[in-house]
Each structure stands twice: as C-alpha cells, then as structure tokens.
Amino acid sequence: LKEKIQRSQKMELIGQLAGGISHDINNMLTIVNLNCDIILNSSQNISPVVKKQTEQIKKTSKHAAKLLHQILSFGKKQRLNLISLNINLIIEDIEKMLIRLLPENIELKKELSNEIENVLADPTHIEQVILNLIINARDAIGETGIIKIETSNKEIHEDISLGSHFLKAGHYVVLSVGDNGVGMDPNTQARIFEPFFSTKEEGKGTGLGLATIYSIVEQSKGTIVVNSELGKGTTFQIYFPATDLKLNSLKLEEQNNINLEG
Ligand code: ADP
C-alpha cells in the first residue's frame, strides 16, 4: 500500500509539473505561430523558400501544441462523473470505432459475460481505458494478430495479493484486453505506468496512456494486473469493484463524442 501511495504521489507531482511547464510552452508556441502568420501575411511576394520554411515552422509548432494539450489534460484533475454503468454497453458502443483503428489483419475478439454486474465509474474514462489498451495492443502486434477483449464477474472470497497488487474480498468486474504481440521484458513492465515512459518511436507515443489508465482505475478503487511475456503477448486485467447501484444507469446516446487518439 505504501508503494502504491508513493507511486500515485509521484505521478501527481510529475503531472502537476508537466502541466505547469506545458502551459508556459503553450503560450510561447502561440507567439511562434502568430509571428509565422505575420510573415506569411506580410506581403504578396515573399520568396517561396521563406514561405515554405515558415509554413514548416507553423506545422511543427502545431504538432508540439497537440502534444502539450495531451500533457496538460493529463496534469489536470478532471471533474468526475461517476455513475453506475455496465462496461459491456460501453464496449459495444465504441466497438465500431475500435475496429476502425485496427489494420485489416488484426482481429478483435469479444467475449462479454451476459450477466455482468455494474461498476461505479465515469463512462468517458472507461472509454479512454479501453481505447488506450486497444491502441497499445495494436502497436504491440504490428500487422497480424488477435486482440481479445473480455469481461467477467469475479468474486474474491478473502483479501489477496495478486502480484504486487492487493485486492479486498468482494465482487469485481474484470475487464481484460489481451494481445499476441511483442510482449514486454521485466524491466519494461516495471516502468509502464510511469508518466512519459514509452518505447514507441518518436511521434507515436506520449507515454501517458497507461499512466492515465492507472489514475482512472485508482479513482474507481480498482486494480490492474499485467501479464506479459516477451515474444508471446500481453494481457491487462482490470478489476473494478462491482456496485449494487442500478440507479442512474448509463445513457448511451450521451457518450458518443469520443476523442480519437487525441
Ligand atoms: P505509449 O503508448 O504512448 O508508449 P503507454 O503509457 O500507453 O504509452 O505505454 C507505455 C509503454 O508500455 C509502451 O511504450 C510499451 O513499451 C509498453 N506497452 C503498453 N502496452 C503494451 C502491450 N500491450 N504490449 C507490449 N508493450 C506494451
């Protein structure tokens, strides 16, 4: 537990620091962008080279601003909209979009338990968790492979530790995303929840996906269990405490505005 507290304090601090710095850099980028516009609009006959290079600067600063936006929203504590929801409905709602993210030869297999219990969570957060896990699975697979998304109820009869995780006795809903991709070595596994840790090529990963998932799952009082083997694949299992609350159930039409890959 101590380790868990230290880890979330560290993440919060990194998040706040990153948020502060990003904000300043964002202001500077606005100035860069404005000055590019001034050059581009200064006269009709600026040389083609100057025009091209200025447009390049604009494009690069736009890219940097997008990255900063992701960092800023990570650092910010977002307002929570916790409701009692059915994870299966969320998966079904975003399934088409998930499939669109995958190349033709990556198959998405779905095994959703019929009698799934509800969990107390923010629906947009659950979408984000699923989306990030699927994108990571896709990137770990490359071209051809299978991603399996599963849900099930699980009853834990007495307090246990699962790997380095502690689970209190009770009812849980387990969301699992598995892939047969490259897998991870133990050193990588030890660092995946650190903000800004990424092994992806530049421009592809921010290293914020799993750190975001970690804090979301923590807010729902859940636990993440990772199983990974180099060359074989990876499975993420997220344990969400089940809730008896059936009130205020999810309105699907309210949550169609999902933001694709930032
Ligand atoms: P990003 O996707 O931007 O790199 P994440 O926090 O989502 O950031 O992931 C951090 C790192 O964890 C990835 O760069 C990768 O090395 C590793 N990782 C995450 N998911 C998987 C997976 N399914 N298979 C193999 N490695 C993974």
| Mean pLDDT computed over 4-22 | 70
What phi and psi, each to the nearest 5 degrees, are found at residue 51?
-60, -45
Looking at residue 213, its pLDDT comes to 92
Residue 204, pLDDT above cutoff 50:
yes
Residue 24: is it exposed, middle or buried by C-beta count within 10 angstroms (0-12/13-18/19+)?
A: exposed
CA 136 to ligand 1 center in whole angstroms: 5
Does residue 4 register a pLDDT over 80?
no
- Closest CA relative to residue 88, chosen from 59, 119, 125, 44: 119
Residue 212 alpha carbon, nearest atom of ligand 1: 6
Q: Which of 131, 136, 147, 230 to mutate to test the pocket of ligand 1 (most atoms within 8 A of CB)?
A: 136
Model ipTM over 0.90: yes
Q: Which residue has the higher pLDDT, 217 or 183?
A: 183
Atom of ligand 1 nearest to the CA of 179: 23
* Ligand 1 environment, Cβ below 6 A: 132, 136-137, 140, 179, 181-184, 188, 192, 197-200, 205-211, 234
Task: Output the CA 197–ligand 1 centroid distance in Å.
Answer: 8
Position in ligand 1 atom list of the atom nearest CA 193: 6
The pLDDT value given to residue 69: 76
Residue 72 or residue 256, greater confidence: 72
- CA count, 13 A, side-chain hemisphere, 241: 15
- Residue 44 token pair: 């009709």
75 SS3 class: helix
| pLDDT, position 5 | 67
Nearest CA to ligand 1 atom 11: 198
* 138 CA distance to ligand 1 middle (Å): 10
Four-CA torsion 98, 132, 260, 252, nearest 10 degrees: 60
CA of 80 to the centre of ligand 1 (A): 25
pLDDT tens-digit map of 132-168: 999 999 999 999 999 999 999 999 999 888 766 778 8
Residue 238, both tokens: 């997220």
Per-residue 3-state assignment (H helix, E strand, C coil) for 240-258? EEEECCCCCCCCHHHHCCC
Out of 14, 108, 176, 198, give the residue to mutate to test ligand 1, the one with the largest number of ligand atoms within 8 Å of its CB.
Answer: 198
What is the model's pLDDT at position 245?
A: 61
Best of 108, 192, 235 for a ligand 1 pocket test (most atoms within 8 Å of beta carbon) = 192
